[in-house]
Amino acid sequence: MSSHPLLVSALALAVALAAGGRLLVDQQAQRQETGSVLKLLLGESRRAFAMHVFLKADAYFHQGFYPSVFDSPAAAEAKTHLVEATEENHHHEHNHGHAHNQHRDWIEAFGCHFQPSEHRHLEGLGQAREILPWLRLAAELDPQRVETYTVTAYWLREQLNQVKEAEAFLREGLRANPDSYEILFELGRLYAENDRDVPRARIVLELAVEKWLRQEASKVSPDHVSYRQILGQLAALEERAGNLERALAHYFRVYQVSPNPATVQKRIEELRAKLAAPQKPPP
């Protein structure tokens, strides 16, 4: 068989793939949700791919040292460490549910020299940026996956100091998920902690509370963690702004759903004491 038809076909395929890729890039730039190329190509299966891509970001966070579905089925169902880090706001020690140092046979023992075999995180200046492509792709594949936006925004603003990009990404998420209290909370946190824009942060966080009450309050097991986080952020914001009575009202609501009410009670007492203290006259 002559190789010319093969060459022409392969070059045509290469051009088509490159053009398709370019189309994706342009589409991303225009940020159009409807008529997405990925949606057209993959249909609803893209959501399954989105989960896989999100896990890929977690694997990158661990520099390739990551359990497969064969190593620990439970680990695949558990929360990713990217999400845990976002919620707890700090790095913590964890294991992957499998012991890599215990080899079942000589092939495993030999093979560990040829793959990442030590628990490491992406650390150092701006290293966390390497997880971003996969998070971006996960959002493209499944725009309704709220976690992708909140996690990405957290890493952008906390680790990479890219506050503007984090805000733009959260707004993109909000357009795809207008009722998400999680995205509103993350946006409010960004305004409060990075922009120091108290009025804007207050509006967004109060909207988050409203959305939470509308969606979760009537449920049998509502998402109390998110509710506490939103109220806690709101209370801290008011306290910093000097609106102690408002802060106190928010802490009372936290107290009602807190698993550790004693700590909240202590905070309430402190605020009450502050309120009762005589105001210093202006000099």
Partner 1 sequence: MNTVCSLAKVVVLEMVRRKDFYVLFILTVLLTGTAGSVNLFNDRSIVRYLKEICLLLIWLSSLVMAITCTARQIPMEREQRTIFPLLAKPVTRGQFLLGKFLGCWLAVGMALAVFYFFFGLVSASREQQWPVLNYVQAAWLHWVMLGVVVAFTLLGSIVFAAPSSNGTICFVVSVGILLLGRHLNKVALGLPQPWQSLLYGSYFVIPHLELFDVRDLIIHNWELIPWGMVGLATLYAAAYAAVFLLAAIWVFRRRPLN
Q: Are 200 and 218 in contact, with CB atoms under 8 Å apart?
A: no
Subset of 181-220 contacting partner 1 (CB under 8 A): none
CA distances from 178 to 92, 113, 249 (A): 32, 48, 27
Q: Does 64 engage in binding with partner 1 (CB under 8 A)?
A: yes
Stretch near partner 1 under the rule CB under 8 A, chosen from 79-87, 123-131, 210-218, 248-256? 123-131
Q: Which stretch binds partner 1 (CB under 8 A): 128-136, 141-149, 179-187, 242-250?
A: 128-136
- Which 9-48 residues touch partner 1, going by CB under 8 A? 10-11, 13-15, 17-18, 21-22, 24-25, 28-29
Q: How far is the CB of 156 from partner 1 (least distance, A)?
A: 7
Two structure tokens written together for 112: 């560990």
Q: Measured between alpha carbons, how far is 53 from 36 in angstroms, rounded to an integer?
A: 18
Query: Which tokens in the block code for residue 97?
Result: 């549910």
Selected from 129, 200, 224, 246, the binder of partner 1 by CB under 8 A is 129
**Do you know the residue count of the chain?**
283
In this chain, which stretch among 108-116, 174-182, 206-214, 255-263 interacts with partner 1, using CB under 8 A?
A: 108-116
* CB of 12 or CB of 213, closer to partner 1: 12
Provide the H-helix boundaries in the chain.
4-30, 37-42, 46-61, 73-77, 81-88, 106-111, 132-141, 146-154, 163-176, 181-189, 198-216, 224-241, 244-257, 261-276
Q: Where on the chain is the footprint of partner 1 (CB under 8 A)?
A: 3-4, 6-7, 10-11, 13-15, 17-18, 21-22, 24-25, 28-29, 60, 63-64, 68, 70-71, 104-105, 107-108, 110-111, 113-116, 126, 129-130, 132-134, 136, 156, 160, 162, 165, 169
